[in-house]
Amino acid sequence: MPQQSPLDLPEGDPFGPHNLPYGVFTTADAPEHRRIGVRYGDHVLDTAAVAAMLGSPHTDLLSQPLLNPLMAAGRPVWDAVRAEVRGWLTDPAYQTTVEPMLVPLAEVTLHLPFEVADYVDFYASEHHASNVGRMFRPQDEPLLPNWKHLPIGYHGRAGTVVVSGTPVVRPLGQRLPAGADTPVFGPTQRLDIEAEVGFVVGTPTAPGERVPLTSFRDHVFGVTLVNDWSARDLQSWEYRPLGPFLAKSFATSVSAWVTPLAAFDAARTAPPARDLPLLDYLDDSATEPDGLDIRIEVALNGHPVSYPPFATMYWTAAQQLAHMTVNGATLRTGDLYASGTVSGPEREQRGCLLELTWSGRDPLELPDGTRTFLLDGDEVTLTAWAPGPDGSRIGLGEVTGRIAAATD
Amino acid sequence: MPQQSPLDLPEGDPFGPHNLPYGVFTTADAPEHRRIGVRYGDHVLDTAAVAAMLGSPHTDLLSQPLLNPLMAAGRPVWDAVRAEVRGWLTDPAYQTTVEPMLVPLAEVTLHLPFEVADYVDFYASEHHASNVGRMFRPQDEPLLPNWKHLPIGYHGRAGTVVVSGTPVVRPLGQRLPAGADTPVFGPTQRLDIEAEVGFVVGTPTAPGERVPLTSFRDHVFGVTLVNDWSARDLQSWEYRPLGPFLAKSFATSVSAWVTPLAAFDAARTAPPARDLPLLDYLDDSATEPDGLDIRIEVALNGHPVSYPPFATMYWTAAQQLAHMTVNGATLRTGDLYASGTVSGPEREQRGCLLELTWSGRDPLELPDGTRTFLLDGDEVTLTAWAPGPDGSRIGLGEVTGRIAAATD
Q: Does B118 touch chain A (CB under 8 A)?
A: yes
**Do residues A137 and A106 share a domain?**
no
pLDDT tens per residue, range B222-271: 999 999 999 999 999 999 999 999 999 999 999 999 999 999 999 999 99
What is the CATH number for B168?
Answer: 3.90.850.10
Expressed as residue numbers, the domain containing A197 is 119-404
Question: Position A305: which residue type?
Answer: V
Residue-level pLDDT at A2 = 54
**Do residues B94 and B134 share a domain?**
no
**Do residues B71 and B128 share a domain?**
no
**Do residues B81 and B154 share a domain?**
no
Least confident of B44-48, B163-167, B206-210, B225-229: B206-210
What's the gap between Cα B250 and its chain centre? 17
Residue-level pLDDT at A3 = 64
pLDDT tens per residue, range A184-228: 999 999 999 999 999 999 999 998 899 999 999 999 999 999 999
Q: Does A407 touch chain B (CB under 8 A)?
A: yes
Q: Does B157 touch chain A (CB under 8 A)?
A: yes
> Would residue B277 count as lying in a domain?
yes
In this predicted structure, the answer to whether residue B1 has a pLDDT above a threshold of 50 is no
Mean residue pLDDT of chain A comes to 97
Q: Does B278 touch chain A (CB under 8 A)?
A: no
What is the CATH number for B33?
Answer: 2.30.30.230
> Would residue B389 count as lying in a domain?
yes
**Do residues B68 and B153 share a domain?**
no
> Would residue A41 count as lying in a domain?
yes
Domain termination site, one of A68, A87, A111: A111
**Do residues B189 and B61 share a domain?**
no
**Do residues B152 and B53 share a domain?**
no
Q: Rounded to whole angstroms, what are the CA distances from A51 to A88, A90, A94, A113, A329?
A: 9, 15, 12, 19, 36
Residue-level pLDDT at B136 = 83
Write phi, then psi, for B81 (nearest 5 degrees): -65, -40
Least confident of A131-140, A304-313, A392-401: A131-140
In this predicted structure, the answer to whether residue B311 has a pLDDT above a threshold of 60 is yes
Report CB contact under 8 Å: A153, B245.
yes
Q: Which of B128, B149, B219, B323 is catalytic?
A: B128
**Do residues B89 and B125 share a domain?**
no
Mean residue pLDDT of chain B comes to 97
End-to-end CA distance of chain B: 56
Residue-level pLDDT at B3 = 64
> Would residue A3 count as lying in a domain?
no
pLDDT tens per residue, range B52-62: 999 999 999 99
Residue-level pLDDT at B56 = 98
Say how many CA atoms lie within 13 Å of B6 toward its Cβ: 20
Share of chain B above pLDDT 70, in %: 99
> Would residue B9 count as lying in a domain?
no
* Those residues with Cβ within 8 angstroms of residue B351's Cβ, 6 or more apart along the chain or in another chain: B125, B128, B193, B194, B195, B196, B296, B298, B306, B308, B341, B342, B343
What average pLDDT does range B156-170 have in this prediction? 98
pLDDT tens per residue, range B334-391: 999 999 999 999 999 999 999 999 999 999 999 989 999 999 999 999 999 999 999 9
Of B208, B234, B237, which is closest to A407 when you measure between CB atoms? B208
Find the closest chain B residue to A183 by CA distance: B149
Domain termination site, one of A79, A111, A143: A111
Q: Radius of gyration (Cα) for chain A, nearest Å?
A: 21
**Do residues A75 and A155 share a domain?**
no
Give contacts of B 213-252 with A, CB under 8 A: 231, 234, 237-246, 249-250
Least confident of A301-315, B71-85, B126-140: B126-140
pLDDT tens per residue, range A65-74: 999 999 999 9
In this predicted structure, the answer to whether residue B121 has a pLDDT above a threshold of 90 is yes
Residue-level pLDDT at B4 = 83
Q: Are A291 and A268 in contact (CB under 8 A)?
A: yes
In this predicted structure, the answer to whether residue A359 has a pLDDT above a threshold of 50 is yes
Residue-level pLDDT at A1 = 47
In this predicted structure, the answer to whether residue A408 has a pLDDT above a threshold of 90 is no
Q: Which residues of A361-379 are buried (b: 16+ CB within 10 A; e: fewer)?
A: eeeeeeeeeebbbbeeebe
> Would residue B8 count as lying in a domain?
no
> Would residue A305 count as lying in a domain?
yes
**Do residues A329 and A389 share a domain?**
yes
Question: Position A89: which residue type?
Answer: L
Let me know if A33 is a catalytic residue.
no
In this predicted structure, the answer to whether residue A81 has a pLDDT above a threshold of 90 is yes
In this predicted structure, the answer to whether residue A383 has a pLDDT above a threshold of 50 is yes
Residue-level pLDDT at A136 = 83
Pairing of strands A22-27, A30-40: antiparallel
How far apart CA A133 and CA A129 sit, in angstroms, is 6
**Do residues B214 and B250 share a domain?**
yes
Q: How confident is the model at residue A4 (pLDDT cuts 50, 70, 90)?
A: confident
How far apart CA B343 and CA B322 sit, in angstroms, is 23
Q: Are B161 and B112 in contact (CB under 8 A)?
A: yes
Give the sign of the dihedral formed by CA B65, CA B69, CA B74, CA B76.
negative
Give contacts of A 34-93 with B, CB under 8 A: none
In this predicted structure, the answer to whether residue B2 has a pLDDT above a threshold of 60 is no
> Would residue A7 count as lying in a domain?
no
Burial class (CB in 10 A: 0-12, 13-18, 19+), A1: exposed
Domain termination site, one of A111, A132, A162: A111
**Do residues A194 and A127 share a domain?**
yes
Give the total number of structural domains in chain B.
Answer: 2
Share of chain A above pLDDT 70, in %: 99
